[in-house]
Structure 1
């Protein structure tokens, strides 16, 4: 297990609370010289000292995670690029983010401090990222309900009976006259389910509606006074996201899902078949398996269209692409459209030296008849290269970081000067030009 050095964050916390090294050392029951070594990264952070720091400063363990600084540093790079500011190396940005976290947050885009400059979707995405895409209370409640209603074949009927008995709501299956997957009519006390839904989709839709009925107080608790949810629109959207999280926990209950995934070495197609869910749903659920003491691989999950617009982005770890610019065309996600129905694999290295295993597959949405195109997306699932040997998708791949494909976070903040796919220079380095292209006469 790698050692954790968190000197900059300990120093920042101490200065924020206006404590001297001696005063903090007393609170932590450490010698001043030992604390000095911790702050200067002369010693790694031990589990005992980490627990003491969490108690003294009332912070989560994730505050000291190196991933936290990476996220802030990436946003700083984007903000500087947007405002034509100076170009700084990622190492310098990481050091700044660690030592001056509050100042870094005020430099980052106005969207970070002014709700009027950001969308509710941005805030909700950050909310789930803060929780590492795992909501323990809802996940356990979903698993409990899954146990109570039983296996596929019985669970939809039992959910309908529960809604009828507890809430006087009737479920009408295979409704032909609705466009969405479900519709709740409060006047008639009916839930209408679209006629083409699979058994798992029916279960999901009923469980999602049940969240607002059975766990309204918990939804309020989870979304009230949350710094990541500063607007009413963000709170409303977060509640929808949380209800969908609960529904996924019912359809794919945590323990059974994790054990099956591990047994099959995270073979997504086998997981999809076993739980009756789509490739996308299985990938999304895999990115949430971070229960304390029983965690899975910390995956990143993304969904993109052909133009590179990322419409879903969930992560149990840290992988950062630009929020304000296009994604890297060398990323495996974009190749998935060329290989319909097949999984594309890629060992990729970011400019900061981190290497990842990515897999991606193109999927199509529901058809609407002749003359109406079906929505197409590429679904991507990635993990740190250290986790790759546990995945079936690592078979036959060279996992050596030195042999990895070099990708970046988007041209505006990517430092790779000689990339043949560069569309425009990084901000602040207008002398750098895309690689020349020879035209035929």
Structure 2
């Protein structure tokens, strides 16, 4: 069995709790010298120590599995494609702060720095796509409003009583879903929204009104105003989703039906996309659901939404893999498409995807069309109903990649671009099947 070292992760956990090695060792019931050896990768992480760490500090075992580290290694591989992956992995594990600084400087040098949207995406990734303060506050609010069918009317009454705001439900059908008029203290919702959509928009405005300071505190660590504003809005939307789909009630039902998205969506009156997005946030300490990652893409392969608490990595440039099941969803708009997939780093996943579209806005006008997908590590796939009847083995997996420019696979017939950093091999005597051949 391969030994697993987690010194950097243990040290990070200790510093998060502001503990000395002596204090942490005492909590874990081990000697300070043994903890020191663990932190310096002189001793491997054993099952007994792993259970002690997760139980004492209420963290999921995936904290030590290298999820964030794997994403970092994948980005390092894009920046330094000729350096062996083992060396990059060792660098990321031993010197995480140095690597973060190195990647930041690399982005600045190449002009490929993170924009505010990417910073906010990484913010949610670092939080494992779960914001405890907001989620519990949302669940408390939903509980005070009573049963699902009463939440919209009681939220509207709450705005009137608590904030002096009048809610109007019959805004223009071609207007925004929500419009708050500060001057006249009126909140207008577009005509035609479903009950769940009305609840979401009211809860969103509630978060922006009642929890403005908390939103500011949670987003304060981001480096610029644009990122902080985007994060505050994203956090308010997170709160709204958690009011519409309260954590405990939602998780209990999802587990009961083995994450059947259609059944969960029907139970809470939510769309397929909103339901998938909420399913990807169920990581409350002590009450965790399946760690899922949520993706939304258009027909051109542009990923417009991406929420993940795990290691799945996408290229930051060059598009997504055409062999990924997400793209086949456009061909089968009426049903869910499944795939067991393998990434080049050796990790395997179960993916489910479906085509979704927005409402029509009249003849000749385009409407929103996306493919939405949920994925999980293959060792969690049995918990999802979508694994039934599939061969959940590495041999049955479809080889996919992070995107052509970052993918190391040399024999893929679907490759659209050569891999960055690798030379092009030209042989005038052989007609190769692959469109690009890597040089020596």
**Is TM more than 0.5 here?**
yes
2:17 maps to none
2:87 maps to 92
Residue 100 of structure 1 and its aligned partner are, at CA, apart by 2.1
1:83 maps to none
SS of equivalent to 1:172: strand
Deviations 1:391-420 (A, max 9, x none): 110111010112210111111221111111
Kindly indicate whether residue 142 of structure 2 is the aligned counterpart of residue 142 of structure 1: no
Residue 118 of structure 1 and its aligned partner are, at CA, apart by 2.7
Kindly indicate whether residue 189 of structure 2 is the aligned counterpart of residue 193 of structure 1: yes
Matched residues in 1 for 2:347 and 2:425: separation?
A: 24
Kindly indicate whether residue 340 of structure 2 is the aligned counterpart of residue 344 of structure 1: no
SS of equivalent to 2:300: coil
Residue 77 of structure 1 and its aligned partner are, at CA, apart by 1.6
Contact 1:37 1:43 in 2 (8 A): yes
Q: 1:60 to 1:116 in 2, by over 3 A?
A: farther
Matched residues in 2 for 1:179 and 1:69: separation?
A: 44
CA RMSD of aligned residues (A): 3.0
Matched residues in 2 for 1:393 and 1:47: separation?
A: 30
Q: Which stretch of the first structure deviates more once superposed, 41-50 or 307-316?
A: 41-50
Kindly indicate whether residue 382 of structure 2 is the aligned counterpart of residue 389 of structure 1: yes
Contact 1:422 1:435 in 2 (8 A): no
Please give the residue correspondences for 1:270-309 in structure 2 after superposition, counting only pairs within 5 Å: 270-309=263-302
2:249 maps to 256
SS of equivalent to 1:157: helix
TM-score (norm 1): 0.87
Q: 1:210 to 1:6 in 2, by over 3 A?
A: same
Residue 42 of structure 1 and its aligned partner are, at CA, apart by 3.9
2:152 to 156, 159, 162: 156
Residue 27 of structure 1 and its aligned partner are, at CA, apart by 7.8
2:230 maps to 237
Residue 38 of structure 1 and its aligned partner are, at CA, apart by 6.1
Q: 1:31 to 1:222 in 2, by over 3 A?
A: closer
Q: 1:366 to 1:51 in 2, by over 3 A?
A: closer
Matched residues in 2 for 1:334 and 1:342: separation?
A: 13
1:6 maps to 6
Contact 1:25 1:35 in 2 (8 A): no
2:103 maps to 108
Residue 367 of structure 1 and its aligned partner are, at CA, apart by 1.3
SS of equivalent to 2:352: strand
Residue 79 of structure 1 and its aligned partner are, at CA, apart by 2.3
Matched residues in 2 for 1:430 and 1:314: separation?
A: 34
SS of equivalent to 2:149: coil
SS of equivalent to 2:187: strand
Deviations 1:2-40 (A, max 9, x none): 9853146568999xxxxxxxx968984636477446634
2:129 maps to 133
- Structure 2: tracts of 5 or more residues without a match: 15-19, 427-431, 436-440
Contact 2:76 2:103 in 1 (8 A): yes
Kindly indicate whether residue 311 of structure 2 is the aligned counterpart of residue 322 of structure 1: no
Contact 1:10 1:39 in 2 (8 A): no
Q: 1:387 to 1:41 in 2, by over 3 A?
A: farther
Deviations 1:355-407 (A, max 9, x none): 00000000001211111011100001000001111111011101011221011
Contact 2:3 2:44 in 1 (8 A): no
1:223 maps to 219
TM-score (norm 2): 0.87
Matched residues in 2 for 1:201 and 1:53: separation?
A: 40
1:74 maps to 74
Q: 1:142 to 1:37 in 2, by over 3 A?
A: closer
Q: 1:53 to 1:431 in 2, by over 3 A?
A: farther
Matched residues in 2 for 1:148 and 1:13: separation?
A: 35
Q: 1:432 to 1:319 in 2, by over 3 A?
A: farther
Q: 1:75 to 1:199 in 2, by over 3 A?
A: same
Contact 1:339 1:362 in 2 (8 A): yes
Contact 2:6 2:38 in 1 (8 A): no
Contact 1:105 1:112 in 2 (8 A): no
Matched residues in 1 for 2:407 and 2:189: separation?
A: 46
